[in-house]
Structure 1
Amino acid sequence: MIPAAFRDTAEAAADAAGAVIRPLFRSQLLVEAKGDASPVTEADKAAERTIRALIADRHPDHGVIGEEYGETNPGADWVWVLDPIDGTRAFVTGRPLFGTLIGLLHKGVPVLGVIDQPATRERWIGLSGQPAEFRSEFGGTPRCRPCATLAEAELSCTSPDMFDAETAPRFAAAKDAARRTTWGGDCYAYGLLALGLVDAVVDATMKPWDWAALVPVIEGAGGRCTDWAGRPLRLDSDGTVLAVGDRALLPEISRLLAG
């Protein structure tokens, strides 16, 4: 059982990050270039600093891994994994398809996740072994829909640019077998999968802060979130991520992605 205080911390962290991010959305931002050429803004940095301060105050013995400021307290059993703005390119171009990701690992296993959309004020919450929750003025129930074959599936991917010479043909095989493929959305696409609006999401080059919060949400909505081979996601995973709403879909799509 995950202590209730940990969920309270995750939600308080999402609230605090949203209060930092919302005033900067669609404003003039100082955008820097990171080593991987992805845009990073003061919103990313300020939101992560805010979340880290809150965690340090409430759980000083916990570890933290964040996209902007690296790792603290390595070796801790409980480790928070943070992406203050997942989908920074959407954020800096004014599209509300970004989100704040707050995950918690226990001995390397994702056990708690929050996907928070500060602009639309939508929030998905997942805790290991419990049904996922969703809060939004638009309504919706976090429950993945049946879709047993890829030929019937709505497939989503963040961007074709994330594939290299080795992964591109494997993704193409899954794309060609799917009913339809849509692009973009970053973490928001995984939230839509949890709502039964998308059937599968396939991404690559994903870091722990990109997926740690997603696993408890997807699995709490009845789906599965693994690497392309169908293995559980861990800190040493290979960067591939496959999420399916219907678990019966996993073997077919995983076989295609295996090449």
Structure 2
Amino acid sequence: MARTADEFARAAGKVAMGYFGTRIEVETKADDTPVTIADREAESLLRAEIRRRYPDHGIVGEEHGEVLPGASVRWILDPIDGTKSFVHGVPLWGVLIGIEVEDEPVAGVVHLPALGETVTAAKGLGCRWNGEPCSVSSENRLDRSLVLTTDESVFHGHAGEAGWRALAAAARITRSWGDCYGHVLVATGRAQVMVDPILASWDAAPLLTILTEAGGCFTDVSGEPTIHGGSGVSSNPGLHPQVLKLLAGDP
């Protein structure tokens, strides 16, 4: 199914690219996050393709809710992860698809159409970046690591603020190359750590499979390997315990 998910993500990316870089109306949802016609049309296409190919599979997406919630196979969709970047013409956004079987993540795709990058993984079959095998960095020292987050301001007043400051101080360099792009950079070995203190299930849906198959780690900030923990940390096995310890405020 990973190959099919890749196909669907590319099709949704074409829909979104039709709006990228144009003047587009932005609405604000009840949770204070932005949404556009591009988000809705891309998710509608994904849902139509899934229903056509797999009518007995469940679907949950950021924009259109859930169907067949009791299905053994569930597709989790974020048609445009990084809508704020999208509406400002910044190419660091992507189409996210994760697949669960009996509540276990088994496949994931992050397609970055504006950058021409796609990362795809299936459980037990490895991770591929634009069709070639990829893996996380082997760097195990934070003082030689690139550490990312989506937006440092999210930590302000957050329970994890002190932990983030400690992690940033220990890192060689920090950058706010956020949303799915940061996790892709870790999975492909170009960055060492990505931290999202707030992360919805559809934002995390492909990441556990992708990072695991790339030889890395993806957990919530408490260290649980889950896409439903409300937060996300991507890194490699040598760094992950160090990162979690600092985020927990334990120097």
Q: TM-score normalized by structure 2? A: 0.94
- What corresponds to 1:117 in structure 2? 112
Structure 1 residue runs of 5 or longer lacking an equivalent are: 1-5
Q: Distance in 1 between matches of 2:133 and 2:91?
A: 20
- What corresponds to 2:160 in structure 1? 167
- What corresponds to 1:39 in structure 2? 34
Whether the aligned pair in 1 keeps the contact of 2:220 and 2:227 (CA below 8 Å) is: no
Whether the aligned pair in 1 keeps the contact of 2:61 and 2:78 (CA below 8 Å) is: yes
Q: Distance in 2 between matches of 1:55 and 1:87?
A: 23
Q: Displacement of 1:234 after TM fit? A: 4.2
- What corresponds to 2:217 in structure 1? 224
Structure 2 residue runs of 5 or longer lacking an equivalent are: none
2:147 maps to amino acid: L
- SS of match in other structure, 2:71: coil
- SS of match in other structure, 2:238: helix
Aligned residue runs from structure 1 range 225-240, under 5 A: 225-235=218-228, 237=229, 239-240=230-231
1:57 aligns to 2:52 (yes or no): yes
Whether the aligned pair in 2 keeps the contact of 1:108 and 1:234 (CA below 8 Å) is: no
Q: Displacement of 1:151 after TM fit? A: 2.1
2:234 maps to amino acid: A
- What corresponds to 2:237 in structure 1? 247
Q: Distance in 1 between matches of 2:22 and 2:244?
A: 41
- What corresponds to 2:98 in structure 1? 103
Q: Distance in 1 between matches of 2:149 and 2:48?
A: 33
- What corresponds to 2:67 in structure 1? 72
1:169 maps to amino acid: A
1:133 aligns to 2:128 (yes or no): yes
Aligned positions, number: 248
After the TM superposition, which parts of structure 1 deviate over 6 Å for at least 4 consecutive aligned residues? none
Aligned residue runs from structure 1 range 148-159, under 5 A: 148-159=140-151
The structure-2 alpha-carbon separation of the partners of 1:56 and 1:194, relative to structure 1 and needing over 3 Å to count, comes to same
Q: Distance in 1 between matches of 2:171 and 2:126?
A: 28
RMSD: 1.5
- What corresponds to 1:142 in structure 2? 134
1:181 aligns to 2:174 (yes or no): yes
Q: TM-score normalized by structure 1? A: 0.91
2:42 maps to amino acid: A
- What corresponds to 1:3 in structure 2? none
Q: Displacement of 1:257 after TM fit? A: 1.3
1:199 aligns to 2:199 (yes or no): no
Q: Distance in 1 between matches of 2:72 and 2:142?
A: 38
Q: Distance in 1 between matches of 2:86 and 2:180?
A: 12
Q: Displacement of 1:179 after TM fit? A: 1.4
Q: Displacement of 1:30 after TM fit? A: 1.5
Q: Displacement of 1:181 after TM fit? A: 0.6
